[in-house]
Chains A and B, each alone.
Chain A
Amino acid sequence: MINQTKPTPNPIFIYFSQIMENPVIDKNGEEVGSLYDIIIKPSEVYPQSSHLIIRKGFPNRQYAVIAWADILEANGKEITLRIEKSKVAFSEIHNNKEELTLRRDILDQQVVDTYNHKVIRINDIHLLLVDNHFMAAHVDISSKGLLRRLGFLNAIEFIIRLFNKNSEFLTTEPLISWKHIHPLSINPVSMTIKVNVPEKQLNSIPAADLGEIFLDLDIKHKIALFKAIDINAKAKIFVSIDFKSQKSLIEDLKTKEIADILNAIPSDEATDFLEKLPKDTVDNFLNLIESKRAKKLSQLLGYSNDSAGGLMTTDYLAFHKDTTVESVLTQIKERSFKTEAVQFVYIVDESNHLLGATNFRHLLRTNLQDSIQKAAFPKSYFVHLNSTVKEVAYLMDKYKYFVIPVVDDNNVLQGIVTVDDILSQVISIAWRRLTKIKIRPKQ
C-alpha cells in the first residue's frame, strides 16, 4: 500500500477507553459519528483491527461497519475515513454474530487468564497503534484500569504523587499480555466459544486449576468452554470438579459426549461418580459406553465404598508370565494408557492369576530376552476385594508401595488401588469433618 498520508509516527500504546467515543470524520473533514467498537481478527497472537463500528444519533442509535481498508488515518484523537460521509451506510443493528469485537466481547467481560490460571474481568484494553491499525496487545484488570475508565485516574495519581513520588501505583503498569487471554465470548447461534486459537494454552493448565477456572464460569460459558477443549482436557476437568458440578454438567451434555467422558476417565473415578447417581440413571449411562468397560464398571459398582474392591481401578498393566521383557517394553511404548500407575507391571498366568509384580526400574535392568518373571520383585503383596481401607493403607505404608494389586478369593487379579485413592479415604477418616477433601487428580 502506498503511504498517502504523512509518515506514520512511531508506534504508540493507547488504551481502548481513551479512543472509545472519539470522533470519526470523513475525507472532507465532516463528522460521521463516533468510534463505538472495533472488530478484530481473532486468528493472530496479537489480533489486528479489521473493521470499525461507528455509532451516531441519540436516542435512536444507528451503527455502520467500515472495513479497515477504508480508513485513511487512525490516531489517539480521531479516525479519518478514506470515503465520503454519504457513502457510509448506517443501520439500526450492528450485531454480526461470528465476529469478535473489543467492546462487546472483551471489555467488561470475563475471560480466562491462561497464565495465572483464573477467570478475570477486563477493565481496559491496551492497544498498539501501528501503521494506522490497532492491535490488541495487553489487557488491564487492575484498579488502575477501573479508575481510568471512571475518569478518576489523573486525580488519584495527582494525590498519590503529593505523598509519594515513587509510589508503586504510579510506576507500574499492571497489564496481562494478550497471548495469555482466552476470550469466552459465545456465538449465540452455535453456542460455542468464538475463538479457539489458544486451545493449546488451555490444555497446558494443570487439571486442578482448570477445574477451578471452570467452576468460576456461568453455565453457558461452562458448556461452551467444555465443547472447545479436547477429550483429554474434558476428562481432566471432569475428575477435578465435585459431584454436584459433575452432575450439573452431565445434564447439559449430549449422550455421545457423556459416553466419551465416561470412557476417557479412569475407572475408579467413573465409579466414584456413578455410585452417587440413582440406579436407573446409572443403567442408562452404562448402556452408552463400551460394553467391556461397562461390565467392569458395573462390577466395580457392586463393591462396598470403603473396601479395596470399591477403591480399585481396573486400568492396570498385566502381562503373561512368558512375555519377554523386550516385548513388554515395546507394548508399553506403543499402547496409550488410561492407567494412572504405569510404573507398575503385574505378571499373570493364562487365567489371570496374580503371580508377581515388577516396576520399570526392574524391567530396565533385566535382560531384554529374559521372560518378565526374571524382573519380578522377590515377594509381592496384594489385598483382597473385601479388604478394608485401613488394611490397604497399613500394607502400603509398611512396604512403601504406591500401588497395590487386588485379587479375588481365587487369587485372580481384579484391579489395583493407588495411594492417592487411599490417601483421600484415610484423610477423611482422620478428619471426619473434612469428608469433602478430594485429592487433586493426577496429571
Chain B
Amino acid sequence: MRSRLKSFWIKTLIFLSVMGPGMITANVDNDAGGITTYSVAGAHFGYTLIWSFIPIIIALIIIQEMCSRMAVVTGKGLADLIREEFGVKVTFYAMTILIFSNIFNTISEFAGVAASAELFGISKYILVPLCAIFVWWLIVKGTYKSVEKIFLFACVFYLSYVISGFLAKPDWKEVATSSVKPVFEFNKAYLLMLIGVIGTTIAPWMQFYQQSSVVEKGIKLSNYKYSKLDVILGAFVVNIVAIFIVIVCAATLYKNGIRIETAKDAALALKPLAGKYCFYLFAFGLLNASVFSACILPLSTAYSVCEGMGWEVGVNRRFREAPQFYTLYTTIIILGAAVILMPNVKLVPIMLLSQATNGLLLPFVLIFMLLLVNNKRLMGGYTNSKIYNIITITVVLAMIGLSIALLFATFIH
C-alpha cells in the first residue's frame, strides 16, 4: 500500500515536470477572439451550442497528441520537419502565411487588451504599450523555464471564468442536458456560429507551438505518456473554461434577449445582470487571456519561421547571434500594438483576415502532419495505428471542411 502511494507520488511528480506544453497551448486558444466567439454564441444561442465542445475536445486531443508524439520521437519542431521532408519552397509559403495569420491574431489580442483597458476605465494608450513592453521583455530577458512557469501561472487565472459562471447562477439541469444532446438548427446564423466556435478552437500556430515547446522541454520517450496526459488535460481545461463563458452569457444575456458583438459588450451587459464581481472577473479574464496570447503568438511565429528557414533560434541567444529571430518577434509585437493604437481602426476586417489566413493554412498543416506522423523513417514504431489513422483522417477532413466553410462564410457574411 505504502509503496503504491509512493509510486503514485513519483508519477505525479514526473507528470508535473512534463506538464506545460499541452496545457499552455490549449489555454492560449481561449484568447480574445475565442472569448468573443464564445460570448456571442452564449448570448445569441443560449445553451444550444454547448454539445459542440465534446467533439472539439476529441479533435483537439487527437491533433495535438500527434504533435507532441512527433516532438518526443524526432526531437524536432514541426517547421523543422516540414523543411526537411517537403523542402524549402513549401516551408517558405507556409511560413509566410503563418506570419500574416499570426500578425492578425496578435492584433486581435492587443484589441482584447484595449477592450479590457476600457472596461477597467484605463486609457488604452497606457495599457496597450505597457503590455507590449511587458510581453517583449518577458521573452527577451526570460529563459524557457521561467517563461513557462509564468505561463502556467497565467493558466490559473482562466478560473475567473468558471467563478463568474457560478456567479451568473445558470440553470444547471439545462446545462447538463444541452451538453450531451446535440441540437441542430438549420438556419444560417446557427450554422455560422457553430463553424465559428469549432474554427476558433484549432488554429495552425498551435501545432507549431506545441511541438516546439515539447522539443524545448526535452521530454523523453519514456515519459511520453505524461506528455499525452498533459495534452488531454489541457484540452479538457480549455473547453471547460469555454463552456463556462458560454454559460455566463447564456444565463444572463440570452435570457434577457441582449445582442452583443464583442467580449467587451458582453462584460458591460453582465454588470447590471450578474453584478459587478461577475463583470470584473469577466473583464480580468479577458485581459489575462489577451496578454497571455500576445506573448505566445509572436514567440511561436518567430520560433517556427527561424526553425523552418534555418536561422538561429534563441530565447537564450543575444540579438547579434539570432537577428532574424528577434527582428521577427519584435516586429510582430510592435505591429500588433501599433495597429490598435491607431485612431479609428476597424477591427472587423482584421478579424476576418485572421480567420481567413488561419483557414487557408490549417488544411496544409494538418495534411503535412498526417504525412509526417505516418513516415516510418522518422517515427519508427510510433506511427499512427490503422484505427487511429481512420479517426485522425476523419477529424482532419472535418477540420479542413470546417475551415474552408469558415473561410467562405466570413466573406459571404
Q: How far is the CA of A220 from the CA of B75 in the complex (A)?
A: 7
Residues in B with CB closer than 8 Å to A221 are 75
Q: How far is the CA of A58 from the CA of B377 in the complex (A)?
A: 21
Residue contact A108 to B218, C-beta cutoff 8 Å: no
Does chain A have a CB within 8 A of B55? no
Residue contact A150 to B218, C-beta cutoff 8 Å: no
Residues in B with CB closer than 8 Å to A122 are 310
Does chain A have a CB within 8 A of B220? yes
- Given A188-B377, A219-B218, A248-B220, residue A150 in contact with residue B92 (CB < 8 A): yes
Residue contact B83 to A108, C-beta cutoff 8 Å: yes
Interface size on A, residues (CB 8 A): 23
- Given A108-B88, A149-B88, A149-B89, residue A121 in contact with residue B380 (CB < 8 A): no
Name the one of A95, A146, A219 contacting B88, with C-beta atoms under 8 angstroms. Answer: A146
Residues in A with CB closer than 8 Å to B220 are 219, 248, 251-252
Residues in B with CB closer than 8 Å to A120 are 310
Does chain A have a CB within 8 A of B76? yes
Residue contact B74 to A220, C-beta cutoff 8 Å: yes
Q: How far is the CA of A121 from the CA of B312 in the complex (A)?
A: 10
Q: How far is the CA of A315 from the CA of B291 in the complex (A)?
A: 54
Residue contact A219 to B309, C-beta cutoff 8 Å: no
Residues in A with CB closer than 8 Å to B377 are 95, 188
Interface residues as binary, B70-101 with A (CB distance below 8 Å gives 1, 0 otherwise): 00001110000001100111001000000000
Residue of B nearest to A121 (CB): B310
What is the distance, in angstroms, from B409's C-beta to the closest C-beta of chain A? 31
What is the distance, in angstroms, from A258's C-beta to the closest C-beta of chain B? 16
Interface size on B, residues (CB 8 A): 17
Residues in B with CB closer than 8 Å to A95 are 377
Q: How far is the CA of A141 from the CA of B324 in the complex (A)?
A: 14
What is the distance, in angstroms, from A434's C-beta to the closest C-beta of chain B? 13
Does chain A have a CB within 8 A of B215? yes
Does chain B have a CB within 8 A of A267? no
Q: How far is the CA of A107 from the CA of B87 in the complex (A)?
A: 8
Residue contact B74 to A218, C-beta cutoff 8 Å: yes
Q: How far is the CA of A95 from the CA of B85 in the complex (A)?
A: 14
Residues in A with CB closer than 8 Å to B215 are 218
Q: How far is the CA of A195 from the CA of B218 in the complex (A)?
A: 26
List which A241-279 residues lie within 8 A (CB) of chain B.
244, 248, 251-252
Residue contact B74 to A248, C-beta cutoff 8 Å: no
Interface residues as binary, A84-96 with B (CB distance below 8 Å gives 1, 0 otherwise): 0000000000010
Name the one of A188, A219, A251 contacting B75, with C-beta atoms under 8 angstroms. Answer: A219
What is the distance, in angstroms, from B377's C-beta to the closest C-beta of chain A? 6
Residues in B with CB closer than 8 Å to A121 are 83, 309-310
Residues in A with CB closer than 8 Å to B310 are 108, 110, 120-123, 141, 146
Residues in B with CB closer than 8 Å to A141 are 310
List which A78-127 residues lie within 8 A (CB) of chain B.
95, 107-110, 120-123
Q: How far is the CA of A123 from the CA of B220 in the complex (A)?
A: 30
Q: How far is the CA of A108 from the CA of B76 in the complex (A)?
A: 13
Residues in B with CB closer than 8 Å to A220 are 74-75
Interface residues as binary, B95-119 with A (CB distance below 8 Å gives 1, 0 otherwise): 0000000000000000000000000
Cβ-Cβ contact count across A and B, 8 Å cutoff: 46
- Given A121-B83, A123-B310, A251-B220, residue A150 in contact with residue B89 (CB < 8 A): yes
Residue of B nearest to A217 (CB): B75
Residue contact B88 to A123, C-beta cutoff 8 Å: yes
- Given A108-B83, A141-B310, A248-B220, residue A218 in contact with residue B89 (CB < 8 A): no
Q: How far is the CA of A221 from the CA of B89 in the complex (A)?
A: 25
Residues in A with CB closer than 8 Å to B84 are 108-109
Residue contact A146 to B309, C-beta cutoff 8 Å: yes
Residue contact A150 to B88, C-beta cutoff 8 Å: yes
Residues in A with CB closer than 8 Å to B76 are 218
Interface residues as binary, A189-233 with B (CB distance below 8 Å gives 1, 0 otherwise): 000000000000000000000000000001111000000000000
Residues in B with CB closer than 8 Å to A123 are 88, 310
Residue of B nearest to A152 (CB): B92
Residues in B with CB closer than 8 Å to A110 are 310
Residues in A with CB closer than 8 Å to B89 are 149-151
Residues in A with CB closer than 8 Å to B309 are 121, 146
Residues in A with CB closer than 8 Å to B380 are 188
List which B28-80 residues lie within 8 A (CB) of chain A.
74-76
Residues in B with CB closer than 8 Å to A108 are 83-84, 87-88, 310
Q: How far is the CA of A120 from the CA of B311 in the complex (A)?
A: 8
What is the distance, in angstroms, from A107's C-beta to the closest C-beta of chain B? 8
Residue of A nearest to B77 (CB): A218
What is the distance, in angstroms, from A115's C-beta to the closest C-beta of chain B? 17
Q: How far is the CA of A11 from the CA of B215 in the complex (A)?
A: 44
Q: How far is the CA of A107 from the CA of B377 in the complex (A)?
A: 17
What is the distance, in angstroms, from A22's C-beta to the closest C-beta of chain B? 16
What is the distance, in angstroms, from A337's C-beta to the closest C-beta of chain B? 34
Q: How far is the CA of A385 from the CA of B377 in the complex (A)?
A: 55
Q: How far is the CA of A210 from the CA of B222 in the complex (A)?
A: 27
What is the distance, in angstroms, from B243's C-beta to the closest C-beta of chain A? 38
What is the distance, in angstroms, from A21's C-beta to the closest C-beta of chain B? 11
What is the distance, in angstroms, from A224's C-beta to the closest C-beta of chain B? 11
Residues in A with CB closer than 8 Å to B88 are 108, 123, 146, 149-150
Q: How far is the CA of A251 from the CA of B220 in the complex (A)?
A: 9
Residues in A with CB closer than 8 Å to B87 are 107-108, 149
Q: How far is the CA of A251 from the CA of B75 in the complex (A)?
A: 15
Residue of B nearest to A141 (CB): B310
- Given A121-B310, A149-B89, A188-B380, residue A218 in contact with residue B75 (CB < 8 A): yes
Residues in A with CB closer than 8 Å to B75 are 218-221
Q: How far is the CA of A109 from the CA of B377 in the complex (A)?
A: 15
What is the distance, in angstroms, from B376's C-beta to the closest C-beta of chain A? 9
Q: How far is the CA of A323 from the CA of B189 in the complex (A)?
A: 98
Residue of A nearest to B218 (CB): A248
Interface residues as binary, A41-56 with B (CB distance below 8 Å gives 1, 0 otherwise): 0000000000000000
Q: How far is the CA of A120 from the CA of B377 in the complex (A)?
A: 22
Q: How far is the CA of A149 from the CA of B75 in the complex (A)?
A: 26
What is the distance, in angstroms, from A166's C-beta to the closest C-beta of chain B? 24
Q: How far is the CA of A150 from the CA of B90 in the complex (A)?
A: 9
Residue of A nearest to B310 (CB): A121
List which B359-389 residues lie within 8 A (CB) of chain A.
377, 380
What is the distance, in angstroms, from A142's C-beta to the closest C-beta of chain B? 10
What is the distance, in angstroms, from A213's C-beta to the closest C-beta of chain B? 13
Q: How far is the CA of A110 from the CA of B88 in the complex (A)?
A: 13
Residues in B with CB closer than 8 Å to A149 are 87-89
Can you give 11 contacting A-B residue pairs, CB < 8 Å?
A108-B83, A108-B310, A120-B310, A146-B88, A146-B310, A150-B88, A188-B380, A219-B75, A220-B74, A220-B75, A248-B220
Instruction: A121-B83, A244-B218 are known; give 15 further A-B pairs, CB within 8 A.
Output: A95-B377, A107-B87, A108-B83, A108-B84, A108-B87, A146-B310, A149-B87, A150-B92, A188-B380, A218-B75, A218-B215, A219-B75, A219-B218, A248-B220, A251-B222
Residues of A bordering B, CB below 8 Å: 95, 107-110, 120-123, 141, 146, 149-151, 188, 218-221, 244, 248, 251-252
Which 5 pairs from chain A and chain B are nearest by CB? A121-B310, A218-B75, A219-B75, A149-B88, A218-B76
